[in-house]
Amino acid sequence: MRHQKVIKAAAIFIILIAIVVILVYAKPFLVPVTFGALLAMVLLPITKWLQHKGVGHALAIILSMLVLVAFFALVIFFISWQVSDIASNASQLEQQLTSKYQQAQQFIAKKMGVPVEQQQQLLKKQQQSSSGQMGTMITGFLSGLGGFLTNTLLVLVYIFLFTYFRERIKGFIVRLVPKEQEGNAVDTVSSAQKVAQKYLGGLALMVAFLWVMYAIGFTIAGVKNAIFFAIICGLLEIVPFVGNLTGTALTLTMSLVQGGGMNIVIGILVTYGLVQFIQTYILEPLVVGAEVSINPLFTIIGLVAGELVWGIPGMILAIPLMGIAKIVCDHVEPLKPYSYLIGEDKKKGEESGFKKKMKQAGEKIKGWFR
């Protein structure tokens, strides 16, 4: 009996190692496929609605993809608009950077006893040693940009193909299981699809709300180019825990470089605190919901593992993929212990009155849209 348990544990360990190796070495193939599959699930309601209105199957898919492309084009337009505004004040920003740099030199000279001349010599040596790497950095940037554009095109192709052949893919999954388990397989596929739709669709809507709130808060605080930093902070929210801190730190740094005082710093921190409160207790229950019920421990583990395996795309994909994996574990009897391990307990009667009211308000809002 013990011998069998040891063999089973060793087999599970070997399978996990094999999965990690496949994920690492198949990253160029798997990342676009995964993004394409998840975005196809998100766009599926739009496609079905268009088909219900009499639009052809292929044309409905293309029109729903155009909605996605238009959304990202609008975001890129606003970012480029704000960047051009920042670039128009480049000379003033350069003067402010020079002033901050000189202040830092004087601080180091006084507190650490390193003369300004010695600091400049060390900086020149560092520049000379890194000058030979500039060509490599430019080449790497261009190749990375080319790879990004190629992957974007592949994602669009995968979205079309996954949506077009969705019934065949669903039929393939059903045929993999025994006859008596076909209903459970269909239910699993539908539940996983709904989780991806509600999480990613709700996340996109929440990011839009965050743009508005950050823009209002940063404008009141006196942040220059408030819309630009609001868009950046909102977009970075797609990476849980890390994104909001990174966006706020970037806003604080740029505001200080641009000559902002303590009033602006306090305004940014107050805006961050208010937005996080509204996001946690109002937006997430209303818009995103609790479909992806992963406990905080495995949320952190998933984010770290996703970054190690696939980098930034892995951090973005970690939460929805873990939510889908939990749905699969919920519907497969031998995997239910793993679902319990990574999930959260939901007991009736434990919701606070505030959360119940927000949930009721969310249902009313959803009813208006219906």
Residues 6+ apart with CB under 8 A from 197: 41, 42, 44, 45
Residues 216 and 275 in one domain: yes
CB atoms within 10 A of CB 120: 11
Task: Answer yes or no: is pLDDT of 337 > 70.
Answer: yes
pLDDT in tens, 254-292: 887 777 678 888 888 899 889 888 887 777 766 665 556
236 domain-assigned: yes
Q: What value does the mean pLDDT take over residues 36-55?
A: 89
In Å, what is the CA distance from 285 to each residue of 202, 292, 358?
Answer: 10, 12, 7
Residues 238 and 327 in one domain: no
**Residues 353/206, Cβ–Cβ less than 8 Å:** no
Residues 332 and 260 in one domain: no
If you average pLDDT over every residue of the chain, what do you get? 78
**Residues 244/236, Cβ–Cβ less than 8 Å:** yes
Residues 215 and 268 in one domain: yes
Report H helices in the chain: 2-25, 27-52, 57-88, 90-112, 116-131, 134-164, 166-175, 182-221, 226-236, 242-257, 262-278, 296-310, 312-331, 336-342, 353-369
Percent of the chain exceeding pLDDT 90 equals 10
The domain in which residue 325 lies consists of 292-345
d(CA 175, CA 180): 11
217 domain-assigned: yes
This prediction's pTM: 0.74
Residues 271 and 301 in one domain: no
Residues 204 and 267 in one domain: yes
Residues 57 and 159 in one domain: yes
pLDDT in tens, 167-199: 888 888 888 888 888 788 888 888 888 888 878
pLDDT in tens, 119-156: 566 666 655 555 455 455 556 555 666 777 888 899 99
Residues 321 and 276 in one domain: no
Domains contained in the chain, number: 3
**Residues 57/164, Cβ–Cβ less than 8 Å:** yes
The count of residues in the chain is 370
17 domain-assigned: no
